[in-house]
Amino acid sequence: MSSILNGLNDAQRKAVQAVDGPVLVLAGAGSGKTRVLTRRIAYLLSEGGVDPRQILAMTFTNKAAGEMRERVEDLLHRSCNTMWIGTFHSLCARLLRAQAERVGLRSNFTIYDATDQLALLRRVIADEELSERDYPARLIRTRISQAKNQMVGVDVFAQRASTFREQIIARVFRHYQDALKQNNAVDFDDLLTLSVALIRDHEDVRQTYQTQFSHILIDEYQDTNRPQYLFARYLAEVHHNICVVGDDDQSIYAWRGADIRNILDFEADYPNALVIRLEQNYRSTQVILDAGNALIRNNAGRKGKELWTDRAGGEKIRLKRCADEAEEARWIAGVARDFKRAHTYRDMAVLYRTNAQSRALEEGFRRADIPYQIVGDVRFYERKEVKDVLAYLKLVVNPRDSISFWRVINTPRRGIGATSTGRLDEFAMREGFSPYQALAHLEAIDTIPKRTTQAMQRFYDAIEGFRQDMETTPADELAAKIVDETGYLRDFEKLLPEEQMSRRAHVAELLTDIQIFVEQSDDVSLEAYLRKVSLVTDVDQWENAADAVTLMTLHSAICYRPRRWAVSDFAAHW
């Protein structure tokens, strides 16, 4: 036990050892909250006699979850693979796959990312005979997401629609949800809302998981939304062994549904809650903390805390006012170059409010010949060639996935034009088939030319062959076979050499990623790989290994919070 409590201050030790009942840990910036969470889990396992399977620990990034698990295993010198630790979305996806039929899904459901959502919404908008100019898919996606984040379902949304435009959006919302179900697919918001509905509406399921998870831990509680709040509340309503860690002064995600009331009202939800404040900061000098405290003190709706540190003094903060973004970028590049004398570029980060602000900074760094990398740039898994190959893999696993089907039916080109796919779609809708299922009945469609029918049949036979291989073939071998036998790389030959090389490299990188997954996983199936990759975020993809300055939004930085960045160093130097 001594090793678990070593190096903790009094407040941290109290948070680690308070294992029974509800606990609210108000953790200021740099106060060691990750240390508290990992030590608390280790303490529960070693001193509390808790089985790893009884712990449910929820974070907001896969990186944070992985780091937390590694720290616990290092402390205890044993594997904790049976512990449920991950992001809200990954844990809810795991729950839903185990109970899929209860919410009208099959266990091999596809998780649609933002691009897939837009593709489906555009098909829905077209089916509703609406103009996307009048009803943009991105706008409707935002409205639907807002509704789901507030646990507002289709029926309630329709009842609340007071204008003609809102009524149209409600109609699209209903059609969109029906289309998701037909595709055996969910979007990211559904992972949360369906999980809440599952444990709310099915008493046996609720009791099962309430019994299984005797201790619940939640990181970044100030950033939870309504579904996440309800999910935890239902699971903890019997034993009340819930520990949440957060900072009411760092809530910046209201725009995507985060509700600050979740942390402010924790004591109302759990009247016997123990509240612990972590106020000692280990990152910054007192100058930085004094400035931060002075600003934060003016915030309304906060529980209150005063950060302090043993690191007295520090250089004064300097404010630089620039004429425009170009001057600002030149100045920042100059600071980075000066800072390089004592540090490496990978020690540096430039934070900004919106992604659009990166353009001027990129130009400034290019002119100064300073290497940089952007978190939140075009994600690897969203590159066209990567999404194409993933669409093949998704279709093999889930033939109902029409978005993946339409993406690859003529990729690479097979002579299957828009007119023929339209006729196939009409037949599928009329007969109640998915587009892929319709390929098994091509003889009944006499409006498609014979040559095109033959191409469609070859495509269908190939996918069916891959589906048979899926039962016995590891994901890496099957993915390589799919890329090879579909002739996917064939279309690259028409590109310029540099573009062709780049796209081939991305496909090769994807295949390598699948190979690494197989080497490191017990479950080597294609379905297991897709479960993992469907929940990857841009922050999870960031590798801080290259000697390059990192550019990212404040929101991304809050998500990741690299321990090696000391804000005081940057502030004092600048």
Using CA atoms, how far apart are residues 426 and 408, in angstroms rounded to an integer? Answer: 18
Q: Walk me through the domains of the chain, giving residue ranges and CATH numbers.
A: 2-95+202-282 (3.40.50.300), 110-183 (1.10.10.160), 325-375+542-573 (3.40.50.300), 382-522 (1.10.486.10)
Q: How far apart are CA 150 and CA 133, in angstroms?
A: 27
Contact 528/521 with Cβ under 8 angstroms?
yes
β-pairing, 242-246 vs 274-278, is unpaired
Per-residue pLDDT of the chain (574 residues; tens, 9 = 90+): 568 999 999 999 999 999 999 999 999 888 999 899 999 999 999 998 999 999 999 998 888 888 899 999 999 988 888 999 999 999 999 999 999 999 999 999 999 999 999 999 999 999 999 999 999 999 999 999 999 999 999 999 999 999 999 999 999 999 999 999 999 999 999 999 999 999 999 999 999 999 999 999 999 999 999 999 999 999 999 999 999 999 988 876 776 778 889 999 999 999 999 999 999 999 889 898 888 888 888 877 778 788 889 888 788 888 899 998 889 999 999 999 999 998 999 889 998 887 778 888 988 998 899 998 887 655 677 889 999 999 999 999 999 999 999 999 999 999 999 999 999 999 999 999 999 999 999 999 999 999 999 999 999 999 999 999 999 999 999 999 999 999 999 888 888 888 899 899 999 989 999 999 999 898 999 999 999 888 876 555 555 557 889 888 877 776 555 444 444 333 333 3
Give dist(CA 356, CA 362) in Å, integer. Answer: 11
The answer to whether 423 and 456 are in contact (CB under 8 A) is no
Peptide bond into 412 cis (omega under 30): yes
d(CA 26, CA 272): 16
DSSP line for 551-562: EEEHHHHHHH--
Output the pTM of the full model. 0.85
